[in-house]
């Protein structure tokens, strides 16, 4: 398999060691915060990585991978279509990219408006199960970030539930960056409260997609069921050409 981007492949032994460290961090956080062992799913964020690096991660036991750039992702999906990988689309979605996302991914974590959801629904192939989706929430009210505001969520979910080729699973957030553990927990706590409120309204949610390399412990403390980790596994991403 040829590299997808110009960066060098990461040695397999380094990949294995990094996955071991991250999995130990997850397990330690689950123990510390009274979470059920194994209840947190690790998504390896593979944007900027080569197909060879993804394959080495697969051989290290990883099965869930996240991608943010469709044109970069498609060659990797094609090269590894024979493997039991669950592909998660975690980036911003342009209208002209929805057909491939609907047909090639199992999860989409970045739904924030009904127009894109309707296109994914219309273009999801009939032979595939419904597309699992999370609604991206702009929990920090940051103007430069996408995401629905919490007060819009009930209305958005009601619209999404009318689209049978989609399955609403939960919420996702990219909170403001902070090195302060308590501030990290504060943002994740807001999302967890929003999630719990929606569940009390009988919306069928079971997924909290939050937490990355630098704040996964805070996310697990506040109830994350899915974390998205890139740099702790693969190092800093290479610049896109």
pLDDT of res. 1: 31
pLDDT of res. 2: 32
Q: Domains plus CATH for the chain?
A: 12-234 (3.20.20.10)
Nearest residue to 64 (alpha-carbon basis) of 93, 106, 127, 125: 106
pLDDT of res. 5: 36
pLDDT of res. 4: 33
Which residues of the chain carry a pLDDT beneath 70? 1-9, 142, 237-241
- Identify the three-state secondary structure at position 136: strand
> How far from chain centre, in Å, is Cα 118?
20
The answer to whether residues 184 and 218 touch, using CB atoms and an 8 Å cutoff, is yes
pLDDT of res. 146: 81
Distance CA 48, CA 36 (A): 32
pLDDT of res. 127: 97
What are 169-198's pLDDT values in tens digits? Answer: 999 999 999 999 999 999 999 999 999 999
Q: What is the DSSP string of 217-233?
A: HHHHHTT-SEEEE-HHH
The answer to whether residues 148 and 136 touch, using CB atoms and an 8 Å cutoff, is yes
Distance CA 199, CA 60 (A): 35
Distance CA 141, CA 106 (A): 28
pLDDT of res. 6: 34
Q: What angle do CA 148, 151, 153 make, to 5 degrees?
A: 55
pLDDT of res. 3: 33
pLDDT of res. 203: 97
pLDDT of res. 237: 65
pLDDT of res. 75: 96
């Amino acid at each position: 398999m040829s590299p997808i981007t110009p960066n060098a492949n990461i040695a397999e032994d380094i990949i294995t060691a990094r996955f071991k460290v991250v999995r130990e961090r997850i397990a330690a956080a689950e123990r510390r915060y009274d979470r059920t062992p194994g209840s947190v799913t690790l998504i390896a964020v593979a944007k900027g990585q080569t197909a060879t690096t993804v394959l080495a991660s697969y051989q290290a036991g990883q099965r869930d991978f996240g991608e943010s750039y469709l044109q970069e992702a498609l060659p990797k999906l094609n090269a590894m279509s024979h493997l039991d990988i669950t592909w998660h689309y975690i980036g911003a979605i342009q209208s002209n990219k929805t057909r491939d996302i609907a047909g090639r991914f199992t999860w989409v974590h970045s739904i924030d408006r009904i127009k894109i959801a309707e296109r994914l629904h219309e273009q999801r192939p009939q032979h595939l199960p419904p597309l699992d989706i999370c609604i991206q929430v702009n929990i920090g009210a940051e103007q430069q970030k996408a995401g629905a505001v919490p007060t819009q969520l009930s209305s958005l979910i009601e619209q999404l539930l009318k689209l049978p080729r989609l399955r609403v699973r939960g919420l996702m957030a990219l909170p403001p960056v902070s090195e302060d553990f308590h501030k990290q927990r504060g943002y994740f706590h807001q999302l967890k409260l929003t999630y719990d409120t929606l569940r009390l309204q009988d919306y069928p949610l079971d997924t909290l997609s939050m937490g990355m390399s630098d704040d996964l412990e805070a996310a697990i403390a506040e109830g994350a069921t899915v974390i998205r980790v890139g740099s702790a596994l693969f190092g800093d991403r290479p610049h896109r050409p």
